[in-house]
């Protein structure tokens, strides 16, 4: 039942790695307590307290986080209690994420049945489509801290140090139960076109591959990239699960709108107008749409209003896409083209219909 924890504790004992023994014994105690094995969990807790002064259940990792030898800066960030709320995924992505988590949770069972697999996941896709959020979500669901290393900052520092730093990160993650998250993973591929010496870069890539192979036998690894095309097949092959995180489709956009705060009333917008809203939002990332909706809500709250009008959401999407760089004529033109009447536009801008007409004449 607890083979993987016991295995890690034995391994750590043989390696004389005290931190690792303690942290995996803590994990074992925690798991047993969660399964109702109070007695066994308490016994482990007592041993830990007596021998190491550590309580069985702790919120912090024990090993000190790794630092860069030259700069003395930390090379990982640790989120002890990662959280990711209100995430919306397509059915396909959600299914794949669940599969990955289920496999991780049932590693022991799978191994007993002779099934071999490693716990590595590659997430790729456009910026703002939930790669980092999904990593947090998985760690939160598994009840583990998230150890985040950004490869772009590692690689851009002295290459000579990079292989060492990569090794340190994996060693650190091995010492305690956690999810290791390598963000901006394509930095490895990108560095190849830079001024870096090729031989040295090869060493970095090899060191990464070796560390991944070893770590992934027991540790959980997630990597994320916006540029999957920059990864070579040797890297690609190593991931047990690969998930593309696409931009939201209609169903997901609808869910995002339905997730607006309860005090916001969206019932005044007609079905035909919703179709136009979706048209303007399709093609944007989750993060962009969230921004648009947040800005809209903020403005409504400032005006003490709770009812969303078609124009509110349309204009906000326009402002977002044009980064505030537009003329009143262009905006009015856009509204009319999207089915806003001259009267509605006049109400929105708090001007007369005559002024809207003038605006349209000027923009022709
Ligand atoms: N699937 C989603 N559901 C709801 N909100 C999301 C989703 N994906 C992203 N967001 C919102 O967008 C923000 C940015 O997302 P996140 O950092 O996860 O994207 P990313 O894919 O890692 O982007 P990057 O490539 O820039 O690192 C999140 O904080 C969240 O508010
Ligand atoms: Mg990210």
* Dist CA 191 CA 256 (whole Å): 37
Which residues, at least 6 apart from 43, have a Cβ–Cβ distance to it below 8 Å?
Answer: none
* Dist CA 138 CA 98 (whole Å): 9
Q: pLDDT tens per residue, the chain (364 residues)?
A: 788 889 889 988 898 888 888 888 888 888 888 888 888 888 888 888 877 665 544 445 567 788 888 777 888 999 888 888 889 999 999 999 999 999 998 887 888 888 878 899 999 999 999 999 999 999 999 989 999 998 887 776 666 788 888 999 999 999 888 999 999 888 876 655 555 666 777 788 888 889 999 998 889 999 999 988 878 788 888 899 999 999 999 999 999 999 999 999 999 999 889 999 999 999 999 999 999 999 999 999 999 999 999 999 999 999 998 887 888 889 999 999 988 999 989 998 889 999 999 888 887 7
Q: Whose Cα sits closest to atom 8 in ligand 1?
A: 130
Q: Whose Cα sits closest to atom 17 in ligand 1?
A: 132
Residue 92 C-alpha to ligand 2 middle, in angstroms? 20
Which residues, at least 6 apart from 199, have a Cβ–Cβ distance to it below 8 Å?
Answer: none
Q: Which residues pair with 78 in a beta bridge?
A: 147
Q: How many helices (H) and strands (E) does the chain have?
A: 18, 6
Residue in the structure block whose two tokens are 């809207």: 356
How would DSSP label each residue in 227-278?
Answer: -GGGS-HHHHHH-SEEEE-PPP-HHHHHHHHHTS-TT-B-TTS-HHHHHHHH
Long-range contacts of range 104-110, CB-CB < 8 Å, 24 or more positions apart?
104/142, 104/220, 105/142, 107/4, 108/1, 108/2, 108/3, 108/4
Residue 131 C-alpha to ligand 2 middle, in angstroms? 5
Q: Whose Cα sits closest to atom 16 in ligand 1?
A: 130
How would DSSP label each residue in 19-70?
Answer: HHHHHHHHHHHHHHHHTT-HHHHHHHHHHHHHHHS--SS-SS-SSPPPB-TT
- The interaxial angle of helices 18-34 and 3-14, nearest 10 deg, is 160
* Half-sphere exposure in the Cβ direction for 108 (13 Å, CA): 9
Residue 7 C-alpha to ligand 1 middle, in angstroms? 36
Q: Whose Cα sits closest to atom 4 in ligand 1?
A: 87
> Is the pTM higher than 0.85?
no
* Dist CA 184 CA 360 (whole Å): 46
The atom of ligand 1 lying closest to the CA of 133 is 18
Q: Whose Cα sits closest to atom 30 in ligand 1?
A: 287
Considering every ligand atom, which ligand is closest to the CA of 138?
Answer: 1
Which residues, at least 6 apart from 54, have a Cβ–Cβ distance to it below 8 Å?
Answer: 22, 26, 48, 62
Residue 79 C-alpha to ligand 1 middle, in angstroms? 17
With a Cβ cut-off of 6 Å, ligand 1 is lined by: 86-89, 127-133, 224, 226, 286-287, 290
Cβ pair 174, 216 in contact under 8 A: no
Residue 91 C-alpha to ligand 1 middle, in angstroms? 17
Residue 277 C-alpha to ligand 2 middle, in angstroms? 27
* Dist CA 45 CA 39 (whole Å): 10
* Dist CA 29 CA 327 (whole Å): 64
Q: How many CB atoms lie within 10 A of CB 129?
A: 23
Structural domain spans, the chain: 1-58, 59-244, 250-363
Q: Whose Cα sits closest to atom 19 in ligand 1?
A: 128
Give the three-class secondary structure for 148. strand
Considering every ligand atom, which ligand is closest to the CA of 246?
Answer: 1
Residue 126 C-alpha to ligand 2 middle, in angstroms? 9
The atom of ligand 1 lying closest to the CA of 123 is 21
* Pick from 286, 182, 198, 190: nearest CA to 229: 190
Pairing verdict, β 179-183 and 146-150:
parallel
The atom of ligand 1 lying closest to the CA of 287 is 12
pLDDT of residue 57: 46
* Dist CA 123 CA 145 (whole Å): 19
Residue 93 C-alpha to ligand 1 middle, in angstroms? 14
Q: Whose Cα sits closest to atom 18 in ligand 1?
A: 130
Considering every ligand atom, which ligand is closest to the CA of 245?
Answer: 1
Q: What is the architecture of the domain spanning 59-244? A: 3-Layer(aba) Sandwich (3.40)
Return the best residue to mutate from 290, 291, 292 for the ligand 1 pocket (most ligand atoms within 8 A of CB): 290
pLDDT of residue 59: 46
pLDDT of residue 205: 83
Q: Cβ-count burial of 312 within 10 angstroms (0-12 exposed, 13-18 middle, 19+ buried)?
A: buried
How would DSSP label each residue in 175-197?
Answer: TSS-EEEEESTTHHHHGGGSSS-
Residue 132 C-alpha to ligand 2 middle, in angstroms? 4
Q: Whose Cα sits closest to atom 9 in ligand 1?
A: 130
The atom of ligand 1 lying closest to the CA of 86 is 4
């Amino acid at each position: 039942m607890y083979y993987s924890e016991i295995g890690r504790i034995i391994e750590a004992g043989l390696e004389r790695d005290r931190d690792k023994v303690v942290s995996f014994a803590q994990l074992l105690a925690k798991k047993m307590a969660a399964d109702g094995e109070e007695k066994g969990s308490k016994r482990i807790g007592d041993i830990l307290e007596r021998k190491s002064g550590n309580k069985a259940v702790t919120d912090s990792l024990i090993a000190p986080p790794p630092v860069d030898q030259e700069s003395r800066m930390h090379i990982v960030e640790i989120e002890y209690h990662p959280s990711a709320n209100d995430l919306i995924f397509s059915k396909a992505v959600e299914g794949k994420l669940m599969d990955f988590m289920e496999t991780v949770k049932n590693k022991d069972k799978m191994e007993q049945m002779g099934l071999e697999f490693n716990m590595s996941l590659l997430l790729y896709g456009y910026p703002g489509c939930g790669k980092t959020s999904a990593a947090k979500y998985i760690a939160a669901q598994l009840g583990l801290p998230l150890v985040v290393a950004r490869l772009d900052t590692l690689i851009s520092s002295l290459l000579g140090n990079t292989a060492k730093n990569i090794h340190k990160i994996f060693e650190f993650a091995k010492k305690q139960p956690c999810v290791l998250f390598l963000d901006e993973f394509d930095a490895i591929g990108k560095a190849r076109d830079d001024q870096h010496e090729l031989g040295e870069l090869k060493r970095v890539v090899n060191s990464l591959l070796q560390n991944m192979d070893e770590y992934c036998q027991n540790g959980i690894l997630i990597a994320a990239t916006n540029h999957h095309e920059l990864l070579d097949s040797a890297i690609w092959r190593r991931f047990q699960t690969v998930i593309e995180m696409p931009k939201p489709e209609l169903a997901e956009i609808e869910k995002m709108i339905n997730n607006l705060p309860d005090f916001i009333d969206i019932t005044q917008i007609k079905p035909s107008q919703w179709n136009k809203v979706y048209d303007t939002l399709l093609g944007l990332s989750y993060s962009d749409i969230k921004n648009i909706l947040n800005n809209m809500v903020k403005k409504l709250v400032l005006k003490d209003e709770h009812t969303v009008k078609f124009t509110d959401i349309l204009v906000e999407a326009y402002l977002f896409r044009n980064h505030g760089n537009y003329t009143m004529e262009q905006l009015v033109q856009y509204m009319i083209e999207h089915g806003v009447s001259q009267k509605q536009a006049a109400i929105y801008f708090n001007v007369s219909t005559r002024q809207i007409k003038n605006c349209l004449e000027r923009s022709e």
